[in-house]
Amino acid sequence: MMTFPDIDPVIFGIGPLQVRWYGLMYVLGFTATYFLVLKQIRDFSYKALEPYFENLNLILILSVVVGGRLGYVLFYNFSYYIQHPLEIPATWTGGMSFHGACIGCLAGGYLYTKKNKLDFWTCADLYVVTMPIGFALGRFGNFINGELFGRTTTVPWAMVFPGGGPLPRHPSQLYQMMLEGFLLFAILWFFKDRPWKKNRNWPHGSMLSFFLVGYGCLRIFVELFREPDQHIGFMFGVITRGQLLSGLMVLGGIILWKIRINQYTQK
């Protein structure tokens, strides 16, 4: 068994103001996406996007935060927040949903690109190949906080988490960091520059569909090691809420791929 590294979640504080590792991970994730997308714009000369790049980033950041919070409220704790609606904006108390953030990001990006006559599929592909870096950093923040830990186990790398009782558990946050984060980033970043067929590039929207399928499958797998939310438990006695939502992601990604391929081959 390994010892959980008891790192103070607060980096430093000035009066009531606290700078936390988890918040810093969000900032680093957004920063990584910013520079990686900018690199792609310059490498591939997406000149149409350049004048809108800064504003689009701001819209996506706001969409991630709003979508993540509303997703948590709707998917994970609706019965509580319907009785305490004034607590919904209190993101500093914790409670964000990846699936909600994903929906929010897609919705915000779609509305902005439509308003400014940009190609949504091209913009989506530019961003989704970079987003797993942010996921990796976010999961590391979860690990530092000692939250979202795994199920009990006897593997040699198991840890006793401060809020997880006396039994050793899977460090599932690190599994997610490696799989949903770094592995997914490596796959998407590799395929984005590879031709679909000889002398034919991937249809716009392909990376988005790969992202939905890839993240969904990896999340379903990692949820096998992650402790379900205590107030939800297993749905139908078998699957977690995260697996159900991720299954819908996979289905959506497959449908999107079929649609984009059909549209591409008919041109």
Q: Which residues are annotated as a binding site?
A: 139
**152 phi, psi to nearest 5 deg:** -65, 145
For 192, the 3-state DSSP assignment is: coil
DSSP state of 196: S
Taking the C-alpha atoms of residue 80 and residue 178, their distance in angstroms, rounded to an integer, is 33
Taking the C-alpha atoms of residue 245 and residue 243, their distance in angstroms, rounded to an integer, is 6
DSSP character string of 198-234? TTBPPPTTHHHHHHHHHHHHHHHHHTTTBPPPTTT--
Best CA proximity match to 107, nearest among 57, 70, 63? 63
184, two tokens: 């997914």
Taking the C-alpha atoms of residue 142 and residue 139, their distance in angstroms, rounded to an integer, is 5
Q: What share of the chain is helix, strand, coil (3-state, %, to 5)?
A: 60, 5, 30
